[in-house]
Chain A
Amino acid sequence: MRRTARVLGTAIVFAILMLFLSTDAPAAPRVRVAYWLMADVIRGGSNAVGAVGVQTNVFKQGEEVVFRARVLDIGNGQDPGQQGKGIKALQDLGLKVTAYLEDGQSFPLSYGRHPAQVQGREAATWFWSSAWKIPASRAPGSVKWWVIVTDKSGASVRFDPIGAGTALPPIAIIIEKR
């Protein structure tokens, strides 16, 4: 009986030891990116003085800044919204994408099809977007921006345009007189 207890005890100790040694989790980095986030700004169609829908960070007063973001699950490289087929999955994840301006404004991005109206077999894609119409009275200058993705699990990923926080020329949105 005593021998049996000893064998059993040894086995349990070994098992616990193996649990600690074999799992990868403790060795994994603490900071793990949950989403692959890419964002840019393009000129919207409202009051545009330049080409519409093109990438730019230089805008005139009254023009529309459109924030666009692509969010992929880092685990499988796929769009959690499955190109419009997984809207419920987005809701289940509680995925939220928000653009922020340094003046305190924030713009929730919505997940949608682009172009919104397609004809026939025209190709479309799904991503996140939102727009900010620059007030005509807005003072010229620059305004920093960034985008944050969050979900129900507490994941939070921030995107800053390349070169943000450096002495590089115009990383922020630049507003010029019309």
Chain B
Amino acid sequence: MTVANERGELRNPGLPGHEEFDTLIYGSPPLAYPAALSQYVIYNTPDPAYVTGRINISAFANLGSAPWPFANTNVPLNGHICIPRGRGPFPVAVFAHGNHTPTENSTPGYLYLCELLASHGIIAATIDVNFLNGFNSGENDARAIVHLEHLKQLRTWNSTAAHPLHGMVDLNRILIVGHSRGGEAVGHASFFNRLAAIGPVVLDGSAGLGPYRFGLTAVAAIAPTDRQFVPATGPTVVPDSYFIIHGSQDADVFTFEGYHTYARAHAVDLANPTVSDGKFKAMLWVHKANHNQFNSVWAAESAPGAAMPRPNQERIARVHLGALALAVLLDRREYFAVLRDHAVASAWDPAGTELVSQYQDPQRIFVQHNQEGLAAPVVSLPVQGTVAADGVAAARQLTALVGGFATTTITLRLAWNGAGTRLLLRVDPATLPAERYKVIALRVGQSNEAANTASRDQDFTLEVSSGSRTAAFPASSLHRLLFPDPPPFGPAKIVMQTLRLPVARLVERGVDPSDLRSIALVFDRRQTGVVYTGDLQCTN
């Protein structure tokens, strides 16, 4: 069934596709799990063609206190894999869970997503990392290694002539997805994938681990942690395209610390601000989603009634991770529309769902990124121009928008008390080739400070001028700027929404994008307010 949406041609990516598939278990027998770990005995009898080896992760992690029938020198590669019928080759998505009580098998909790992707023609697996679960800390490098070793197993099967997966795996189209600590770990996996060694551990296969160097198309993190493991080189900067989804009622990872991972990924290079690494990043903040309901077997951790019903949360995961997978793995590039603007999926998401999203395209030029320092705001080089704050208090700050670790990303706080104030960016049109881009994008969000009315959307006018022509657009015509959802713990999160103003709409109003002279935020739609802005770009 095709669900209509505002673009008409897109089918709901959260609905099953038409491919038939088989679901198998792979594993590394013999695995004599004791009674306390009875949920894992399924891995002792894998499909005969899908018997795997063991790996040594002792350089990275010890096992917890659960009575695992193996040591950290020979942990198994267990998992569930959904394989489309047909000749392939099929792209790959591999999911990993996070930390949870080790006596409960967390692995099957993403089968609902694996089955969806397989029905669209993607080999999708969910892997067993339960032996790293427990009351521990700092083991997420090991989770990353396990994830990469599962990919290596798929590569081995793909290259083994007699294996059912021979030639069926497209190793240049890989999506790795992790939840919670597994969500942090996929960021490390993206980083490790390019390394020849980690400390004393060589990754060339000579000592068992690696080589990797997979063609990771994208990395997706569901409610991830951040910086529980920190490489010797500093906090991990995800080098691949990155997607993150997190819920406002997360009562486990309640600091939305993955936002810091998102901020570090594909950030502006101050030495080369026009240079792009060719990767995108996208974020979805889901009001009323909690932590555990993204995993279908984990009981909800949030207070009763605080979170949306589980079926709704799983539906949101299906729609948005489905759109990501179709876009990056199956070249259904039209589904990037969902990443760019979550409103495209509004007919597919549960009615009444409130979402906030960000998207940064590889093609962009910053008009203002705010990372030059904490002095007064400026237009960012190489674009030249001036910034004038008329009646609005404009201050660049290292504000902890979402909690967690102290931030190193600067945002611009704009506070006004009286309608008609404005922040005016005058630009030299010779330095801003806006006509080469499709969109002017501004990241902006409101806080729960007293100047903002509780539960009311914030609003202002975006005014763009070229020569004598000016076009004005209410921010609310581009997207809602939601009041922060009260969190389960701690301060409310300030999550900015990317407002995307199509350049075509400027042209319709007579504004010449090749002669852009100014962009103004005019605070004429609310008497008072406080908003935070991240960056202003011309982009696609």
Is B a genuine binding partner of A?
Answer: no
B contact residues vs A (CB 8 Å cutoff): none
